[in-house]
Amino acid sequence: MKKITFFIIFWYLLSSCNSGYYKHIKDYTFKSTSGQPDYSSLNYWAAHPFKKNTSDSVAKPLRNDYVKDSSVDIFFIHPTTYTNKEKQFGWNAPVDNDTLNAKTDYTTILFQASVFNAAGRVFAPRYRQAHLSAYYPQTKSDTLNAIAAFDTAYNDIKTAFEYYLKHWNNGRPIIIASHSQGTTHAKRLLKEYFEGKPLQQKLVVAYIVGMVIEPTYFSKIKPCEKPNQTGCFCGWRTFQENYIPPFVQKEKFTSVVTNPISWDIDKPQILRAENKGSILLNFNKYYFKVADAKIEQGVLWTRKPHFVGNVFYKSKNFHIADYNLYYYNIRENVEERKKAYFLK
């Protein structure tokens, strides 16, 4: 029974309720007097090269070959961790809540942002994230509140990015990376600060994962079509093979999708035998041949992820694990694109 329970809660733990973060809540004692983030203080960065943080974590199987580089900066925008049903803080989360900050750092920063730590310096701002329900408004009033909540969150991201550019970038090339709500904001950031602007020349690549990417959203920044292409963007949404969610069926276009194993527009389907490795609940364990990658109708399909106990996982939506299922492939691809950028 204990084994069954473990695997039933596997994905939920990974995304939001991992008991591992609770023991760290006591470490988050800072408070904002204005209610707004102060990006001159490292407290308001979930990841920053000038402080020890979970994005620095390197899984044990990678440690022997790990070499840290600082020639590129990664600006990572984390997904929603403000998910409690009570919506206790209203439409936007505070930036100084100890529980939310611990949860963010020991889930998404550890399991997602860490994929980039060999490639460069990782910056990940805390922000007044919109509550998860902002994606599912039920009334006109909810819709207006949701729009305002996303705008508040994005304004924090803008402020953080501008502070980063002014004080820490110093002309370095940039990788933009994000997941879920983070991608909602990353798309706007790329459009406002990179597209058709001088900063576009500094863009190594953007990994904008977990959300729809309209084919016409960008005009100057193109989808990545080859694994060593630079100045482009990658994105995918992962579901079980033969499943197209109802919300995708309603989309009036076919979302841009990248295959995170081949990274090649001419190789839209790759079996899990070529998946370099996944990181699931145990950060320090290397899982082999867990997931396929097949581009289909605006999403990424995989057969049911292959790990001991997967029979107990019933959902066909693998959104939570968009990064985790392809962790080693992403890590390898980041290095390939970085090298290509400096060879231009």
The domains of the chain are located at: 2-343
| Farthest CA pair distance, the chain | 58
Q: Which long-range contacts (CB under 8 A, 24 or more apart) does 272-275 make?
A: 272/302, 272/303, 272/306, 275/325, 275/326, 275/328, 275/329
- Compute φ and ψ for 220, nearest 5 degrees: -105, -35
- pLDDT per residue, tens digit, the chain (344 aa), is 333 333 333 444 344 444 588 899 999 999 999 999 999 999 999 999 999 999 999 999 999 988 888 899 999 999 999 999 999 999 999 999 999 999 999 999 999 999 999 999 999 999 999 999 999 999 999 999 999 999 999 999 999 999 999 999 999 999 999 999 999 999 999 999 999 999 999 999 999 999 999 999 999 999 999 999 999 999 999 999 999 999 999 999 999 999 999 999 999 999 999 999 999 989 999 899 999 999 999 999 999 998 776 766 778 999 999 999 999 999 999 999 999 999 98
Q: What is the DSSP letter of 200?
A: G
What stretch of H or E contains 46?
strand 45-47
Report the predicted TM-score, pTM, of the whole model to 2 decimal places: 0.94
In terms of DSSP H, where are the helices of 206-326?
Answer: 246-249
Any residues with CB less than 8 A from the CB of 317 and at least 6 apart, and which?
A: 239, 240, 243, 245
Per-position DSSP letters for 273-308, written without gaps between them:
GG---B--SSTT-PBPS---EEEETTEEEESSP-ST
What stretch of H or E contains 121?
strand 121-125
d(CA 90, CA 102): 19
